[in-house]
């Protein structure tokens, strides 16, 4: 998903952004944020049911002795395709569910990597999730206290609009750069700022 060069670029972008603002950034990249096995099952069952109806009521005469085996093969192939091809899962999953899965995963990572433990509560968790085509930016209270809701929402829309499914590290880099530039004036670097969170991205293959 991401080569070493991509990870280094992310790390460098975090370093640069944190030289502009007292915000602290943690970046994670994942192939997916949710478990969609139920979607695979529903897809396989639906196609298998359609195949069964065609076998018994379609215009082609089918030997009933082979129907169970053929249906089993159809079920297995569709289930395998759905579980291995992200586009199928994405197409069969509602946008609301995808958003919710990424938000929940970002919240879990926010706690896992101590983003809420910075001195000024200025941590930001950035999750880039491939299957869902989503970027989730979860900011701590110290960030949200100084930004205007409307401006922040506009920035989130711009960040999401820049999602590049073909280059996830580049997506993460652009996101960090945009956040760093946005927060430079609203949350400038303090003289006693310390690097409290890891700059190394968390990349799951």
The answer to whether residues 77 and 104 belong to one domain is no
89, with CB counted inside 10 A (0-12, 13-18, 19+), is buried
CATH number at residue 25: 3.10.310.50
The answer to whether residues 18 and 103 belong to one domain is yes
Residue with tokens 């070493």: 4
Choosing from 66, 92, 118, the residue where a domain stops is 92
Share of the chain above pLDDT 70, in %: 98
The answer to whether residues 73 and 117 belong to one domain is no
| Residues 160-193 pLDDT 10s | 999 998 899 999 999 999 999 999 999 999 888 8
Return d(Cα 101, Cα 95) in angstroms, integer: 10
The answer to whether residues 81 and 101 belong to one domain is no
The answer to whether residues 116 and 195 belong to one domain is yes
pTM: 0.86
Helix (H) or strand (E) holding 90: helix 86-92
Q: Quick one: CA torsion of 34, 196, 139, 186, rounded to 10 degrees? A: -150
3-state secondary structure (DSSP) of residue 8: helix
The answer to whether residues 193 and 133 belong to one domain is yes
The answer to whether residues 86 and 186 belong to one domain is no
The answer to whether residues 137 and 57 belong to one domain is no
**What is the span of the domain harbouring residue 187?**
4-33+95-203
| Residues 132-150 pLDDT 10s | 999 999 999 999 999 999 9
The answer to whether residues 111 and 175 belong to one domain is yes
Q: Which of 192, 197, 147 is nearest to 14 (CA)?
A: 197
Q: Which of 176, 141, 169, 140 is nearest to 155 (CA)?
A: 176
The answer to whether residues 12 and 78 belong to one domain is no
The answer to whether residues 99 and 87 belong to one domain is no
Choosing from 25, 58, 92, the residue where a domain stops is 92
Q: Count the domains in the chain.
A: 2
The answer to whether residues 182 and 196 belong to one domain is yes
């Amino acid at each position: 998903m991401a080569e070493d060069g991509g990870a280094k670029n992310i790390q460098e972008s975090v370093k640069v952004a944190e030289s502009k603002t007292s915000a602290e950034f943690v970046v994670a990249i994942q192939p997916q944020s949710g478990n969609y096995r139920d979607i695979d099952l529903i897809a396989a069952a639906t196609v298998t049911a359609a195949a069964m109806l065609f076998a018994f009521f379609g215009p082609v005469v089918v030997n009933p002795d082979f129907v169970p085996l053929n249906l089993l093969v159809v079920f297995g192939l569709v289930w395998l395709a759905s579980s291995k091809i992200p586009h199928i899962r994405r197409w069969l999953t509602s946008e609301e569910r995808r958003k919710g899965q990424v938000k929940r995963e970002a919240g879990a990572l926010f706690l896992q990597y101590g983003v809420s433990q910075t001195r000024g509560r200025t941590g930001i968790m950035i999750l880039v999730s491939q299957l869902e085509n989503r970027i989730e930016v979860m900011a701590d209270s110290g960030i949200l206290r100084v930004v205007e809701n409307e401006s922040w929402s506009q920035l989130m829309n711009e960040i999401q609009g820049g999602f590049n499914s073909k280059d996830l590290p580049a997506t993460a880099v652009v996101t960090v750069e945009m956040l760093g530039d946005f927060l430079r004036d609203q949350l400038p670097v303090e003289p006693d700022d310390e690097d409290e969170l890891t700059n190394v991205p968390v990349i799951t293959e």
